[in-house]
Amino acid sequence: MTRRSLPATLALAFLYATAAHAQGAPDGQKISAQGANGAPACITCHGAKGEGNPAAGFPQLAGMGGKYLAEQLEAMANGSRVSPVMAATAKALDPAQRLAVAQYYAALPSPLDIDGLAATALRPVPPADTGAWLATRGAWDKNVPACNQCHGPGGIGVGDNFPGLAGQPAAYIAGQLRAWRQGQRPPGPLGLMPAVATRLTDAEIDAVSAYYAGLPKAASLLASQAQPAAGAKQ
Ligand code: HEC
Ligand code: HEC
């Protein structure tokens, strides 16, 4: 067995460190703005601040759990989550790039108006308002808990396992619920969402999706969305 002197070991460690630095961990922000390995820039569709594009049905990514986003990219890359739009993009990135870009989006500030959400959550809900009722009370006659019981007050999301729903485009939310009903999205933790989605009627899916899409977003975001979608031009 060879023994190296301490200075030699240090020099080696230094070399490894510099090599790692030169190679560089993937830069999540750069991937979002420029794409990588032929994958297009994420901002084109998901917005300059990860705020999504409600008109086009592109989901917001900012402030969601990093582990959750990385898992979704993985699922879209391996095809277990069927996404004609995202599959090639997710596949083009390697696992380290997927993780880096997921962590970049997780660290961006959520585009939601927290005070507005809190005020909405306190307002009484008429039972005839199917979407609001499902979100805040559930449908216990068929064992569907209130969505907010898992997705957090106001649907703001909880940690890495329960993604936020507030402010997501209605078409996106409805599309995901239908994907679970059709087995086109992996069951996720404990198979909770297939159990929920298969118990909802089409009308309930549309109502609850519209409810979340209509929850208040930060004023700054509304201003930026009032202009033609920045990404659409690119
Ligand atoms: C051409 C538009 C487009 C581009 C470019 C794009 N996305 Fe998407 N992305 C979508 C759409 C649409 C969905 C919704 C998935 C679906 O409906 O199948 C989505 C979904 C996602 C999701 C899942 C979100 C969730 O809440 O589960 C993640 C994560 C994601 N994209 C990350 C990225 C990243 C990272 C990039 C850049 C490398 C990127 N996207 C580029 C359109 C796009
Ligand atoms: C018992 C807990 C639970 C309840 C109740 C619940 N969800 Fe979920 N939901 C989850 C989990 C866990 C996930 C993450 C699944 C994954 O990782 O793929 C999720 C994910 C979702 C997503 C995907 C979000 C995205 O960014 O792609 C949508 C949409 C959704 N839920 C809608 C609803 C709606 C609407 C209701 C109420 C009718 C509801 N959920 C009730 C646990 C729950």
Q: Answer whether 134's CB lies under 8 Å from 147's CB.
A: yes
Inside any domain, residue 11? no
Report how far Cα 126 is from the mean position of its chain's Cα atoms.
Answer: 30
The amino acid sitting at 15 is L
Q: What is the pLDDT of residue 70?
A: 98
User: Do 157 and 226 share a domain, yes or no?
Assistant: no
Whether residue 13 lies inside any domain: the answer is no
- Assess whether the C-beta atom of 165 lies below 6 angstroms from ligand 1: no
Ligand having the closest approach to the CA of 53: 1
Residue 35: which domain range? Answer: 19-109+219-234
Residues 208 and 226 in one domain: no
Distances in Å between the Cα of 40 and the Cα atoms of 35, 92, 191, 232 are 5, 9, 32, 13
57 sits in the region (left: phi over 0; alpha: psi -120 to 50; else beta) called left
Q: Please identify, by atom number, the ligand 2 atom nearest to the C-alpha of residue 212.
A: 35
**159 shares a domain with 73:** no
Q: Which atom of ligand 2 is nearest to the CA of 205?
A: 35
CA of 9 to the centre of ligand 2 (A): 51
How far is Cα 167 from Cα 155, in angstroms, rounded to an integer? 9
The number of the ligand nearest the C-alpha atom of 211 reads 2
Residue 199 belongs to some domain of the structure: yes
| Within a domain: 204 | yes
In terms of domains, do 116 and 180 share one? yes
Ligand 2 atom with minimal separation from the 64 CA: 26
The answer to pTM > 0.75 is: yes
> Which pLDDT belongs to residue 131?
97
Do residues 99 and 189 share a domain? no
pLDDT of residue 234: 35
Tens of pLDDT, residue by residue, the chain (234 residues): 445 565 555 555 544 444 444 467 899 999 999 999 999 999 999 999 999 999 999 999 999 999 999 999 999 999 999 999 999 999 999 999 999 999 999 999 988 888 888 888 788 999 999 999 999 999 999 999 999 999 999 999 998 999 999 999 999 999 999 999 999 999 999 999 999 999 999 999 999 999 999 998 776 555 555 544 444 433
12 found inside a domain: no
Query: Are 178 and 153 found together in one domain?
Result: yes
Domain CATH for 225: 1.10.760.10
* Number of domain units in the chain: 2
HSE (side-chain half, CA atoms, 13 Å) at 189: 9
Same-domain pairing of 72 and 150: no
* Residue 76 alpha carbon to ligand 1 centre in Å: 9
116 assigned to some structural domain: yes
* Same-domain status, 150 and 233: no
* SS3 per residue for 101-150: HHHHHHHCCCCECHHHHHHHHHCCCCCCCHHHHHHHCCEHHHCECCHHHH
Q: Mark whether 69 and 39 lie in a shared domain.
A: yes
- Alpha carbon distance 75, 73 (integer Å): 5
Residue 154 three-state SS = helix
Residue 65 lies in a domain: yes
- 86 close to 35: Cβ distance less than 8 angstroms: no
Give the model's pLDDT for residue 20.
44
Amino acid at residue number 79? G
